[in-house]
Structure 1
Amino acid sequence: MRNVMLGMMTTLNGRLDSPFEWVDAVGDDVYRRINENAKTSDTMLVGRTTYDEMVAYWPGTLASGEGTGSNQTMARHMNEVEKLVISRSGSRPLEPWHKARMVTTADDAALVAFITELKAKPGGNIHLSGGASLVQSMVRLGLVDRFTFYVFPTVSPGAAWFGEVAEKRDMTVMGVETFDKGVVGLTLEPRAPLDMGAPQRFTELLS
């Protein structure tokens, strides 16, 4: 069974949208780690708006050969990975890009059915890349198997990863890593809830 992996930069308060509003610069150490994790994925899930931003940047960057080594590594990966563009309506054709195709999922049930079928097919990990609406839906529906957050030491108002989650969800910490500029990498996996009953006093929380 394939896993859906979410690996993105974020703020202390979990902002996921408009990184240009809160990221001054991405250190090459963070970029290298993102590239290393990307190697495990052969499929990308992306929303329509984010796809438009990607196709406007990455093919040209790869063709020009400009940018750092890390940037060119990411450009090659972006070109070769299968890109599944998730759309509610599918009404507007995609700008062509190698291995890109649109998938129309009209509602939550259709999205769950598609992801379940995709995970059952042979292949590597599935990278959930954005945008905000798709990611929030995937998180709310419990479709993400592993989260890797690169947490920048800043707070910024905006859409949050777990902003649409209405219930308590526990995570198991799989790894912690530190980077330059105070960035902390956190890797977490959802943990099945344990029905232990609600505590009646604070002292019951202490072990």
Structure 2
Amino acid sequence: MRKLVLGMMTTLNGRLDQPLEWIGGVGDDLYRQINANAKTSDTLLVGRTTYDEMVAYWPSALASGEGTDSNQQMARHMHDTEKLVISRSGSRPLEWWHNARQVVAEDDAALVAFIAELKAKPGGDIHLSGGAELARSMVRLGLVDRFNLFVFPTVSPGASWFGELAEKRDMVLVETRAFESGVMGLSFEPRAPIDMGAPVRFTELLT
């Protein structure tokens, strides 16, 4: 069974939208790690707005050959990987990009069914890259198998990953990594719920 891996940048308070408002820059050591994480995947899931931003940049970046080695590695990966653009309506056709297609999921049930079918197919990881609305929906529906978060040392108001959850969800920390800029790479996987009974007092947790 393939894993759906959410890989995105975030603030200390969990903001994921409008990154230009809180990201000061991406150091090369962080960029290299992003590329390393991307190599485990052969399918990319994105929302329509994120796709439009990607197709406006990556094809021309690859064609020009300009930028750092890390940037060119990402441009090649973006070209080669299967790109699935999730849409609620499919009312607007996509601008053409190699190996990209639109997937219409009109409601949560259709999205859950599509992801289950996608996970059952052979292949590498499925990389969920954004945007904010799609990522929040995937988290809310419990479809993410691993969270690769690059946490920037800043706080900022905006949409958060877990703002739509109606219940507590526990995670297992599986990897940490520090970067020169102060960004922390944190990888989590969902933990199966364990019913240990609710404590009556906080001091019960200390025994």
**Same fold, judged at TM 0.5 (above):** yes
Alignment size in residue pairs: 207
Name 1:139's counterpart in structure 2.
139
Name 2:81's counterpart in structure 1.
81
Name 1:27's counterpart in structure 2.
27
Name 2:160's counterpart in structure 1.
160
Aligned ranges 1:160-199 → 2 under 5 Å: 160-199=160-199
CA-CA distance at 1:61 after TM superposition? 0.4
Q: C-alpha offsets along residues 48-90 of structure 1, whole Å, 9 cap, x if unaligned? A: 0100000000000000111111011000000000000000000
Name 1:96's counterpart in structure 2.
96
Name 1:57's counterpart in structure 2.
57
CA-CA distance at 1:139 after TM superposition? 0.2
CA-CA distance at 1:197 after TM superposition? 1.1
- Identity across the alignment (%): 76
Q: C-alpha offsets along residues 93-144 of structure 1, whole Å, 9 cap, x if unaligned? A: 0000000000000000000000000000000000001001100000000000
In 1, the alpha carbon distance for the partners of 2:15 and 2:67 equals: 27
> Which residue identity is paired with 1:16?
L
Name 2:43's counterpart in structure 1.
43
In 1, the alpha carbon distance for the partners of 2:196 and 2:169 equals: 14
Name 2:108's counterpart in structure 1.
108
Q: C-alpha offsets along residues 131-181 of structure 1, whole Å, 9 cap, x if unaligned? A: 011000000000000001111100011111111111100000001110011
> Which residue identity is paired with 1:56?
A
> Which residue identity is paired with 1:178?
A
Secondary structure of 1:149 counterpart: strand
Secondary structure of 1:6 counterpart: strand
Secondary structure of 1:109 counterpart: helix
In 2, the alpha carbon distance for the partners of 1:98 and 1:158 equals: 33
Q: Which runs of 5+ in 1 are unaligned?
A: none
In 1, the alpha carbon distance for the partners of 2:201 and 2:159 equals: 33
In 1, the alpha carbon distance for the partners of 2:13 and 2:39 equals: 28
Report the TM-score, using the length of structure 2 for normalisation: 0.99
Secondary structure of 2:56 counterpart: helix
In 1, the alpha carbon distance for the partners of 2:116 and 2:152 equals: 32
Give runs of ≥4 in structure 1 deviating > 4 Å.
Answer: none
| 1:200 partnered with 2:200 | yes
Secondary structure of 1:33 counterpart: helix
The alignment's C-alpha RMSD in Å is: 0.6
Secondary structure of 1:45 counterpart: strand
CA-CA distance at 1:205 after TM superposition? 1.0
Name 1:118's counterpart in structure 2.
118
Secondary structure of 2:123 counterpart: coil
